[in-house]
């Protein structure tokens, strides 16, 4: 029992020493203040961080993600063609392509894909 307590004590001391060493060695100096400031695409970091974004661009991104997931559902069908009934693979692929096509047509009719202001 004393051996386990000694091992726990030694491991706690070693981990504490390593943590203190990392904290002391990892301190950054204030001399490189410009290097420490955030930099995003040439914009001044002192300006307002919460600037408005384009809702149209956000919606286009969401539409892209939805269609991307549907395309990912189509990809395994080529591999499954060897192991499954070709008629079922064809029906599944047709249904998925029909869903993608109807979704694209709907988004086009709603004007989500137009870049007009």
Q: What total of structural domains would you count in the chain?
A: 1
Q: Taking the model in full, what pTM does it have?
A: 0.47
Domain assignment present for 70 = yes
Residue 25 vs residue 10, higher pLDDT? 10
**Does residue 81 lie within any of the structural domains?**
yes
In a domain, 74, yes or no: yes
Residue 47 has pLDDT above 80, yes or no: no
- What phi and psi values does residue 110 have, to the nearest 5 degrees? -75, -15
Position 39 pLDDT exceeds 90: no
Q: Is position 3 within any domain?
A: no
Q: Nearest to residue 60, comparing CAs of 9, 110, 6?
A: 110
Q: Which domain holds residue 67?
A: 57-110
């Amino acid at each position: 029992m004393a051996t386990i307590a000694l091992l726990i004590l030694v491991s706690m001391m070693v981990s504490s020493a390593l943590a203190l060493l990392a904290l002391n060695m990892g301190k950054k100096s204030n001399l490189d203040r410009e290097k420490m400031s955030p930099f995003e695409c040439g914009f001044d970091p002192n300006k307002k961080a919460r600037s408005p974004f384009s809702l149209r661009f956000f919606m286009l991104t969401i539409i892209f993600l939805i269609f991307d997931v549907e395309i990912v559902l189509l990809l395994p069908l080529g591999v499954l063609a060897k192991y499954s009934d070709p008629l079922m693979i064809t029906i599944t692929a047709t249904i998925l392509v029909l869903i993608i096509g109807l979704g694209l047509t709907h988004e086009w009719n709603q004007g989500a894909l137009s870049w007009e202001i």
